[in-house]
Structure 1
Amino acid sequence: MNQQLKFGIGIGTAILAGLAVVHGRSIGESIFTNLRIAPAQAQAQTLKIVFPTRSDTTDLQTKARAVTAFLSKELQQPVEAVFGDETAAVEALRANRANVAFLSSRSALKAKELANANLYLAEVRANYSGGHTYKSIFVVPKNSPLKSGQGEATLTQLKGKRISFTSPTSGSGFIFPVAELVQQKLIPNRDRLNGFFGQVTYGGSYDKALQAVLRNQADVAAVSEYTLGAPYITAAEASKLRVLYSISGVPAHGIVIKDNVSASDRNKLIAAMMKLNQPANNQLFRALYNSTTLVKVNNSHLNPTKVALEQAGMKP
């Protein structure tokens, strides 16, 4: 046998020995160990973000996918947009069909309770009086005999009046106004609204609640401060209304992340999302929900909503 053949057999024998399972290691692991070749990394897991529908957003799917494409590039992993209402968003988190979601403060409380998801970022708007908090307001016709102000005396004027709330699930359009009525000792809880107001209706959206007042179908509406203008009502319509009473400190919508996302991956995601504040990327974020920037927060951001729910006799 010539020397070249002997040499080849020797190498072949060494490689075969390396293929053997040693102390429980797999064949594949032994190959990479013996030949000193690093194994290819497993394909990165897809990060799924829920973008709930909101009444003031159009073409959400296109806008959300532009944001996920940006995040995918920043994170170097697939990022997928998921769509549905906020109830579906919380359920997707609970069932591990999503890792992240944009949520209102009440839904964020529910996500923490049911899905081990915590709040890390909040949205800021130019028309939020508190930056990442805003006001819930009672709105009346400009020529209403009711006098604007703060405190029990102002709200007492609403006894026997017709009110249009936004919806039974709205923070600024129901939960905070009801909690304020309870705090001022005008009602004991949400179940006694009909004993105070002459008529209780729900518009189903901010603009419809305001339209009820503009069309004399209600004497007062409960909405958010930023709804007194486009895209909810026109400037001409807004000029026919005024704020009767305001409640500060309503927490803005935010972004929750499940605890099963590792701390390292969570920090990378937050850093990538904060890059949406930069001028070169900001329009991607503004297009989503008409918010301007994101700020870092924690679960204490949700405390006012938690207190308001308790005062109103409601659960998250």
Structure 2
Amino acid sequence: MSVRRKSLLSVGAALATSIGLGLSTLGGMQATIANSAPNQQAPRLFAQQKLQNLTIVFPTRSDSTDLQTKANAVAAFLSKELGIPVTAQIGDDTAAVEALRANRADVAFLSSRPALKAEQLANARLYLAEVRENYSGKYTYDSVFVVPSNSSLTTKNSAKATLEQLRGKKIAFTSPTSGSGFIFPVSELVRQGFVPNRDRLDGFFGQVSYGGNYSKALQAVLRGQAEVATVSEYALYAPYITAEEKSKLRVLYKISGVPAHGIAIDDDVSPADREKIINALLKLNQPANNQLLRNLYNSTELVRVNHNRHLAPVRDALKRVGIEP
């Protein structure tokens, strides 16, 4: 994409609103890992020229701690593999998308909905997806409706019969921007004919609340403030809840195929350099380097994915609930 086209796109608050996330800027210490070659940190001024340095944005996540240090270690590894300086920046998903749009970053780890926004605003695309041991589908996972283990609600022989039991109940969604904690569950409710869109949830549920994150949504159920919560399947494990808390919960209904987080690369990176970056990142799968990857977001492996095919489920879900991708 040309710099001129990117400059015509809105920034700041408009970007944050369109993604549905709070506006922020890249924060924390920035660490540039330089090699011995001189003048390697001059910014790239023209698209598709030979890559001289690399900036990667690592978004903060609720299950990541000391992320800057861990990102720095990955940057150092990639710098050695690529032979160029690599800078690790920390920010939220909104900041990551804006950095790609404004040519301040070349690569970003992104969840599925921000990845769609990065495609729209920066023509960046996902090339790799993260694998976790607690993902049901390797690089896809389940969105789950969770109830107390002693709930009278039971899993029936059809989705419609199971979800019908939620009529009039108190539900705690994760947040209005969460894929597995809101978009996919509401999409399923629309698909089954219980609600017409995301704005009519009060017509089906007795009470609708938002936990703000996985842990708080589950705590609402554990404390009796809600009768059901919607989260990712991996939120039923530490660090989100304890094993004792998990024993007090069970999955009522699950929706498979939620796209895993992935790694987007900006279109200003040439195909040859893009392939070098992908191959360097894939070396994090090797036993000698794998702990660097695991330290970031508890991922065990990176796999190549097709951008359109990987994100198709979230595109469909957004359309069904009435949200612009």
Instruction: Tell me what 1:80 maps to.
Output: 87
Larger Rg: 1
Structure 2's unaligned 5+ residue stretches are: 1-36, 41-50
Match of 2:101 among 94, 97, 104: 94
Match of 1:158 among 150, 161, 166: 166
Distance 1:236 1:42, change over 3 A: closer
Matches within 5 A, 1:174-185: 174-185=182-193
Separation (CA, whole Å) in 1 of partners of 2:200 and 2:102: 36
Cα pair 1:118 1:298 within 8 Å, conserved: no
Normalised to the residue count of structure 1, the TM-score between the two structures is: 0.86
Instruction: Tell me what 1:227 maps to.
Output: 235
Instruction: Tell me what 2:314 maps to.
Output: 305
Q: Which runs of 4+ in 1 moved over 4 A?
A: none
Letter of the structure 2 residue corresponding to residue 249 of structure 1? G
Q: 1:67 and 2:74 equivalent?
A: yes
Instruction: Tell me what 1:270 maps to.
Output: 278
Separation (CA, whole Å) in 1 of partners of 2:99 and 2:155: 43
Instruction: Tell me what 2:264 maps to.
Output: 256
Separation (CA, whole Å) in 2 of partners of 1:200 and 1:84: 30
The Cα shift of 1:271 comes to 0.4
Separation (CA, whole Å) in 2 of partners of 1:273 and 1:46: 15
Instruction: Tell me what 1:9 maps to.
Output: none
The Cα shift of 1:195 comes to 1.0
Letter of the structure 1 residue corresponding to residue 232 of structure 2? S
Instruction: Tell me what 1:144 maps to.
Output: 151
For the aligned residue pairs, the C-alpha RMSD in angstroms reads 1.2
User: Sequence identity, in percent?
Assistant: 72
Corresponding residue SS for 2:257: strand
Instruction: Tell me what 1:115 maps to.
Output: 122
Match of 1:50 among 57, 62, 66: 57
Matches within 5 A, 1:181-192: 181-192=189-200
Instruction: Tell me what 1:242 maps to.
Output: 250
Corresponding residue SS for 1:158: coil
Letter of the structure 2 residue corresponding to residue 128 of structure 1? Y
Separation (CA, whole Å) in 1 of partners of 2:315 and 2:230: 19
Separation (CA, whole Å) in 2 of partners of 1:190 and 1:295: 33
Instruction: Tell me what 2:138 maps to.
Output: 131
The Cα shift of 1:46 comes to 2.0
Letter of the structure 2 residue corresponding to residue 159 of structure 1? R
For 1:180-237, what per-residue CA distance to the aligned partner results, in whole angstroms no more than 9, with x for missing partners? 0000010000000111111111111101100000000000000011111211111111
The Cα shift of 1:117 comes to 0.1
Give the structure with the higher percent helix: 1
Letter of the structure 1 residue corresponding to residue 273 of structure 2? D
